[in-house]
Amino acid sequence: MSNSEEARPDPVRETLSAAAYRLVTEQGVEALTVRRLAQEAGTSTMAVYSRFGSIGAVAAEVCERGFAEFGDALSAAGRTDEPLTDLMCQGLAYLQFATDHPLLYTLMFQYSSPEWAASQRKALLQHGNPTDSPMGRAAFGVMAETIRRVATPETDDAALLIRSGVAWSTVHGLAMLSIAGHLTGAHDLVARGALISLAVGGGTPREEAERALDAAMARMAGG
């Protein structure tokens, strides 16, 4: 097969990919079966297998699209000469993306569901995890670079990796608790406390962290 043939768009694959994304974002990963996908795309089950090989590969492609959109959301938070405010904006953008796209976000980070049959979970897990995803790594790189800008020059790579992992774990935990409905009525207060605590834990004075978060909230609100 020539390079031009390999690069040629496949309308059926594109239709299947779009239908899979729609199923996941509207109904959740439980709705993503070969038969249901073929029905939604107006094609055959054989077309799903010939283009993707398995339902896990379909879900992995939906995840890649999700991570691309996630990375765009983090980047859209902006870059200024105030890196701490930029980082707070990214934290807010992260939470907003997760709460705006709960079913997609859950697939991106959990890759399985108790409702899925064991064979479906196994097929999906064969396609890796978020940090194996090119778009996932790119999205996390956006946040990691901002954390590097906030850190002092003497902070080494190992410390930056730990700090990035702590930030990711904290904001992800907030996102999942919010999606599950456990922070109803308290989300904003808990998020504020968590983001400020992350900054303080990184060596920022509390008053400075509070000012940065207030500035970030104003920026994200368009103020």
Cα–Cα–Cα angle for 167, 180, 163, rounded to 5 degrees: 5
| Dihedral angle sign, alpha carbons of residues 71, 218, 25, 176 | positive
Between CA 202 and CA 159 the distance in angstroms is 10
First to last CA, the chain: 54
- Confidence at residue 130, expressed as pLDDT on a 0 to 100 scale: 54
- Using CA atoms, how far apart are residues 31 and 38, in angstroms rounded to an integer? 12
CATH number given to 62-220: 1.10.357.10
Tens-binned pLDDT, residue by residue, of the chain (223 aa): 455 555 678 999 999 999 999 999 999 988 999 999 999 999 999 999 999 998 888 988 999 999 999 999 999 999 999 999 999 999 999 999 999 999 999 998 875 444 445 555 555 555 545 556 788 889 999 999 999 999 988 999 999 999 999 999 999 999 999 999 999 889 999 999 999 999 999 899 999 999 999 999 999 998 5
Tokens of 179: 């999606």
Domain segments of the chain: what residues?
Answer: 62-220
pTM: 0.86
